[in-house]
Structure 1
Amino acid sequence: MNAILQPAAPPAMHPDEWQARVQLAACYRVFDLLGWTEMIYNHITVRLPDSVTGGEKHFLINPFGLHYSEVTASNLLKIDVQGRKLDDNPWPVNPAGFTVHSAIHEGIPDAHCVMHTHTTSGLAVACTQGGLAQNNFYSAQLHGLVAYHDFEGITIHSDEAPRLLKNIGDKPAVILRNHGLLAWGRTLPLAFVRLWTLQRACDVQVAQAALGPAIPVPEKVAAQTVADSFQWDQKFGAGQDVFDALVRRIDRIDPSYKH
């Protein structure tokens, strides 16, 4: 992690938890910078490492009622897999928010971080019969990596979890039909760069739709594009360099997320 994300941990808090808190709080500010907010709704969640929990499944989530621009490392909620608070944080948990996240964290071993958005172009593509079109630079990078899950209403019912997990399989980018976008990853930066690529693909698709028929990307070319796409490869940082660049921008604007 970049040095700007490593302020000293408070007394009595494990430094790995504080590092996770600062990184996640920074991510909420990045989402705000990019316009990926939905008032006080939606979530980015991170599982705390075993070095902190001793193997228990504990997670960090935004306090329900705060805008993403108000999230800080110290006001993030620590919860268990049922969404119950594990600290004396006065803010509540949004039960509709953690239902999908808990299912993915619980059911997909590499889902360290889960992100969900309701952006306009992402939701617009999620409402189309055809879903993501294989017709642009960004969607080509997601060839074979996008799952779809049908809309079942507001996500507060735990019985939806098995169907969600079955539909996701091992695909790291998800279009929740009639609902929005989702991405998960073994690290927060990797989940972020996957969601950013999916969001850009949707942005282009919505803009292109007004211009007439699109030029499709051949499957062979799309498959090669995925193989060549730098952000999925750990040796190229798997999104860490992109995320760090955005956090440096946040630091120049408002570094209060670190507190």
Structure 2
Amino acid sequence: MSVTNLKESSRKQYSEAEWQIRIDLAAAYRLVALYGWDDLIFTHISARLPGPDNHFLINPYGMMFDEITASSLVKVDMNGEIVGESDYKVNPAGFTIHSAVHEVRHDAACVIHLHTAAGTAVATQEEGLMPLNQTALVIREQLAYHEYEGIALNHDERPRLQKDLGDKKLMLLWNHGTLALGETVADAFLGMYFLERACEMQVASLAGGKKLHYPSDAVKKITAGQGETGLTAVSGMAWKALLRKLDRHLPGYAD
């Protein structure tokens, strides 16, 4: 069988809706790698599938993020059981975190969790994300915090993570990393991009060793309101641009 026929055969296993979600999720993995946010084979991104079964897709545990394709993603149920066939297992900690979110946040079509240097650095600073710049102010009111409880292997942690997340779209996991969710893969990725950029800016600002200038409370409130709807409004346009970038630098994600 030719490579083209193998691809077509693989694609026919899935509905059109599932295949598009697989393409977008694989693209998100590749973009995380492209931006240098990956952590070997660790951390994870998930996407909820349509339908009553509450299935979601997550990475095959053992693959680097720049290797992941639409057809290689693993489908799991809310008990962590793999649906269908896969040569790979699922990261147990990844299942704990993502199942916790998908269980209660049905608006979360995509959930991204990272361990970047800047994101983890800010998650280790007592102040959390500080109101230092426009990027932070846009997202700061959408940010929740969850206490570190060790590697997320204990399913008993899920109710506490759910409670801490509430209705927020972003989270700092203390001493651990960052988390973002969205109604689409594009929304989640743009939210994570702004959170990671804000963390990078904070680390750079504090490293400068100079007295910091803070915006007024009135400006903080205005900017937070602008960010509430602003990111969703532009996520689709940004996503198309990101896919064009990915096609230039890491093609093959749609296989």
1:25 aligns with 2:26: yes
1:198 aligns with 2:195: yes
Distance 1:66 1:168 in 2: 29
SS of structure 2 residue aligned to 1:116: strand
5 Å-filtered alignment, 1:123-138, equals 123-138=120-135
> 1:243: Cα distance to partner?
1.7
* TM-score normalised per structure 2: 0.92
Match of 2:236 in 1: 240
Q: Report the residue type matching 1:85 in the other structure.
A: I
C-alpha offsets along residues 34-71 of structure 1, whole Å, 9 cap, x if unaligned? 00100000100000112xxxx11011001000000000
> 1:213: Cα distance to partner?
2.3
**C-alpha distance 65-31 of structure 1, shift in aligned 2 (>3 A):** same
Match of 1:226 in 2: 224
Q: Give unpaired runs (5+ residues) of structure 1.
A: 1-6
Match of 2:161 in 1: 164
SS of structure 1 residue aligned to 2:196: helix
2:96 aligned to which of 66, 79, 99: 99
Dislocated runs of 4+, deviation >6 Å: none
> 1:114: Cα distance to partner?
0.5
Q: Give unpaired runs (5+ residues) of structure 2.
A: 1-6
> 1:240: Cα distance to partner?
1.5
1:213 aligned to which of 187, 211, 214: 211
Percentage identity across paired residues of the two chains: 41
Distance 2:109 2:46 in 1: 8
C-alpha offsets along residues 138-192 of structure 1, whole Å, 9 cap, x if unaligned? 1110132111111000001011111111111111110000000001111111111
Q: Is the 8 A contact 2:145 2:165 kept in 1?
A: yes
* TM-score normalised per structure 1: 0.91
SS of structure 2 residue aligned to 1:66: coil
Q: Is the 8 A contact 2:139 2:227 kept in 1?
A: no
Distance 2:71 2:194 in 1: 30
Q: Report the residue type matching 2:58 in the other structure.
A: I
Aligned pair count reads 247
> 1:254: Cα distance to partner?
3.1
Match of 1:252 in 2: 248
Distance 2:140 2:245 in 1: 31
**C-alpha distance 60-136 of structure 1, shift in aligned 2 (>3 A):** same
Match of 1:3 in 2: none
